Structure 1
Amino acid sequence: MQWNELKARLLSAGSARISGEPADEYIATSSAGPGAGGRGSVFFAMGSHRVKLSLNPSSPVEIVHRGDGVADLCFAGTQIPGRLARPGLHCPDQAFITVTESCIFSCKYCSVPRLAGKRKSIEEIVGLVDSVKDRISAISLTSGVAGSVEDEEAYVCGVIKNLTRFGLPIGVSIYPTKKTPDHLHALGVVEVKFNIEAATPKLFEETCPGLDYATIWQALDRSVELFGKGRVFSNLIIGLGETDAELAACIEKLVARGVVPVLRPLNPVAGFAGIPRPSPERIRAAYLVHSRALAAAGIDPLVAQTMCTNCAGCDLVPGRD
């Protein structure tokens, strides 16, 4: 079985149970997005490939930890040798930090609003990065919105100013204003991710009430002008109710504008609790459309230094998988 076929099946399953030797140092937690507030997750790696799986004691996928990170993945009658990747913060090789762990918006797919988390202080964030600086190659920031979009951007910009001392590439994913790309570029941020999430305006309106679809597209276009093709990303969730044709059209639209789609299989939590995860066949079909579109546009995801496309744990990434 090819890796991308196996990974599609694992992403469709979405979780794993872990057994064997204690593995606490390999468990990552999330305070942003659909995985916020869960039991944590692990990154199973096979060679240069990796997949992130949420921990669930009833999962059909089992990871047997043999000790010192050596592990076997057992799934559908197959045992695959590999290892557990130790996270920096949230994911391997990066300090991926959620600045504000709460949000005034209520996107249907997201658990953050119900958790009412805190905003990390700048001192706390600097300390977190300092604690893992010897095992990371990048810093990535994301954030909810505590009060207003403008206030959140200003706070994140203050965080960035205090992280440049580490001399590492910084990627940022926040809800943008029209001026956000310019502000982040001026601070030396190398990559940005502004998320359209849904494949159609109608689905976006239904899924992300209160957010402005047009503003996100404007921010993406301006970001490509400033950061360049292949340095700008946008989440596109598979499984919100879009058709295959609508998903493909949105992938093509993003790539034509120089944006790298991050194809994220739906995690059925919050307002989508109980909805089936996308099938392996659908995940892989979207990956093939994604691969062809990027190749035709001459965009190479391998240049990504930060955030999700560099990690490649939660998604099938052309060139990496």
Structure 2
Amino acid sequence: MVEAPNDAASGRTEPTDIAGVAQLIMDLQAVGLRIDTELETTRRGGAGPSDSGMLWIEGVPVTVPPSSTSPYRLRADDDGQSIYRDGVKLASVSGTSRPRFYDLTTADGIPYHQIALLHLDSLASTVVQVCNYWGTSDQCGFCGIELSLDAGRTIAKKTPEMLAEVAVAAKELDGAVDATLTTGSSAAPDRGALYVSRCGQAVKEATGLPVEVQFEPPRRLEILDQVHDTGVDAVGIHVETFDPAVLQRVAPGKFRTGIETYFRTWERAVQLFGEGRVSTYVILGMGEDPELTVEMCKRAVDIGVYPFVVPFRPVAGSLMADLPAPSREYTEPIYRKVAAFLSERGLGADTAVAGCARCQACSALNLVQQAGAASPCGSAGQVEATPPLLQIGRRPA
């Protein structure tokens, strides 16, 4: 058995200039990175960090969209690879090699990489790669869940047995440190929560890894008790935006569920899983009211929920593919305020245990918190408004 690498071996270390690296990452996730050398691992389509390169910047895990127009360039140099701007080296980079478990197949001939992927040091899979919103007027504008299925890069439904088999290989061969399992939304009363939890239970029992499962709010809160009984460690229940006008426009199905339903679901989930082990994505740059966003993030933190604040990232082929990512000037003040709330509550990436909030590669929130850059909410400065939301061309129902 191959031992899982420690943090240093896997690439995750703490940079000496945390605040500087945080600002660089915020810029990169806004304007992208020009790739002048090879970047081994990229992610296209799907429900995760789509259309991104995965790398370690000064030991920090990061997903960054490639861009041919970015002022930042990834170049080979004497240190291996580094990020430059205007000819000045800004940070050292460690790439990620192709995971070894990708070359394996199941007894039925299914490649392991069609079952789960390694996002830096986290194993991730969409266990049901279809969604009842997809292709209807309810389709979420930011999502690309069925794109990778249409392209033949994955299979529609993964079984618990498949996922357990792949997770063992990912841990032993490539040092996966946790597992994140998500699913397309279902019309069933549990919204898909019970199946993804059974899959999570199989992974945890086979590997011992911490596991987060992600799903929409079930129609009955008692279903959360059944999820908890499977032994998974954390849950992600993602509202995506706290601005009801934006939610209605970009995710009509979630809007009908209602933001208050999310809060009721989170409260029950925190009672079961504990503070910091329940998270929600909060996407910045979709036209939301920033002050409302900050206020509602605080409300979530106050009940023990980790609001995983991330910049919007356009996914090629999605309904919002033409909406640009927000600037650092917009995202940074929000990061600072939310980081302050988290610090006051004693929550952080370490309390998340597993999942996106543990990984943090798609956000600078944890670095901002670590750097002590968070200020009291009233003194962090006014957050600026985003440009008006672009019109989304929806597919016919």
Map of 2:282 onto structure 1: 236
Q: Which secondary structure does the structure 2 equivalent of 1:55 belong to?
A: coil
Aligned residue type for 1:64: R
Using the aligned pairs only, state the percent identity: 23
Which residue does the alignment assign to 2:35?
18
Residue 32 of structure 1 corresponds to 47
Secondary structure of the residue aligned to 1:271 is: coil
How far residue 149 of structure 1 moved from its aligned partner, in angstroms, is 5.8
Shift of 1:33: 4.6
Structure 1: distance between partners of 2:276 and 2:27: 27
Structure 1 residue 290: Cα displacement = 0.9
1:74 maps to what in 2? Answer: 84
Q: Given the superposition, is the C-alpha separation of residues 155 and 300 from structure 1 closer, same or farther in structure 2, using an over 3 Å criterion?
A: closer
Give the AA of the match of 2:161.
E
Match of 1:300 among 348, 358, 364: 348
Q: Could you tell me how far apart the structure 2 residues matched to 1:97 and 1:120 are?
A: 9
Is the aligned partner of 1:202 residue 2:245?
yes
Residue 111 of structure 1: how far off its partner (Å): 1.9
* Structure 1 residue 46 corresponds to structure 2 residue 88: no
Give the conservation status (yes or no) of the 8 Å contact 2:243–2:288.
Answer: yes
Q: Give the Å deviation of 1:50.
A: 2.7
Q: Contact 1:197/1:235 (CA < 8 Å) preserved in 2? A: yes
Contact 2:122 2:176 (8 Å CA) reproduced: yes
Q: Which residue of 2 aligns with 1:119?
A: 157
Q: Is the 2:238–2:280 Cα contact (8 Å) retained in structure 1?
A: yes
8 Å CA contact 1:266–1:278 kept in 2: the answer is yes
Contact 1:108 1:271 survives alignment (8 Å): yes
How many pairs align? 313
> Cα distance, 1:313 vs. partner?
0.8
Q: Which amino acid aligns with 2:85?
A: F
Equivalent position amino acid for 1:179 in 2: E
Give the 5 Å matches for 1:81-100. Answer: 81-86=92-97, 89-100=117-128
RMSD: 2.6
Offset of 1:195 from its aligned partner?
Answer: 0.7
Would you say 1:144 and 2:184 are equivalent positions? yes
Check whether the contact 2:182–2:214 (CA below 8 A) recurs between aligned residues. yes
Partner Cα distance (2:274, 2:158) in 1: 30
Q: 1:110 aligns with which of 132, 143, 149?
A: 143
State the alpha-carbon separation in 1 of the partners of residues 248 and 225 from structure 2. Answer: 26
Q: Distance in 2 between matches of 1:251 and 1:77?
A: 39
| Pairing 1:5–2:23 present | yes
Q: Is the 8 A contact 1:100 1:146 kept in 2?
A: no
In the TM superposition, what is the alpha-carbon distance from 1:59 to its structure 2 partner?
A: 4.2
Q: Distance in 1 between matches of 2:93 and 2:167?
A: 28
Q: How far is 1:316 from its partner?
A: 1.3
What is the TM-score when the length of structure 2 is the normalising length? Answer: 0.71
1:148 Cα deviation after fit? 3.6
User: Residue type of the partner of 2:282?
Assistant: L
Mark the structure with the bigger radius of gyration: 2
Return the offset for 1:235. 0.5
Query: Unaligned 5+ residue runs, structure 1?
Result: none
How far residue 169 of structure 1 moved from its aligned partner, in angstroms, is 1.0
Matches of 1:31 and 1:124 in 2, distance apart? 19
Change (3 A) 1:228 1:94: same
- Bigger strand fraction: 1
* Cα separation, partners in 2 of 1:140 and 1:33, compared to 1, 3 Å: closer
Q: Deviation of residue 278 (structure 1)?
A: 1.0
Are residues 87 and 243 of structure 1, via their aligned partners in 2, closer, same or farther at CA, if it must alter by over 3 Å? farther
- Report the 3-state secondary structure (helix = DSSP H, G, I; strand = E; otherwise coil) of the residue aligned with 2:95: strand
C-alpha distance in structure 2 between counterparts of 1:276 and 1:3, whole Å: 22
Q: How far is the alpha carbon of 1:52 from its aligned partner?
A: 0.9
Answer yes or no: is the 8 Å Cα contact 1:180–1:219 preserved in 2. no
TM-score relative to the length of structure 1: 0.87
- Offset of 1:253 from its aligned partner? 1.3
Question: How many angstroms does 1:46 deviate by?
Answer: 0.6
Distance 1:179 1:141 in 2: 21
How far is 1:188 from its partner?
A: 1.0
1:215 aligns with 2:258: no
State the Cα distance separating 1:114 from its structure 2 match.
5.4
Once the two structures are superposed, residues 95-124 of structure 1 have per-residue CA deviations (whole angstroms, 9 ceiling, x without a partner) of 111112221211111122555552223333
Contact 1:18 1:65 in 2 (8 A): no
2:198 to 140, 158, 162: 158
- Structure-2 change in CA distance of 1:161 and 1:231 (3 Å): closer
- Structure 2: stretches of 5+ with no match in the other structure: 1-18, 100-116, 134-138, 151-155, 372-397
Q: Is the 8 A contact 1:248 1:289 kept in 2?
A: yes
Verify the 8 A CA contact 1:52 1:314 in the aligned structure 2.
yes
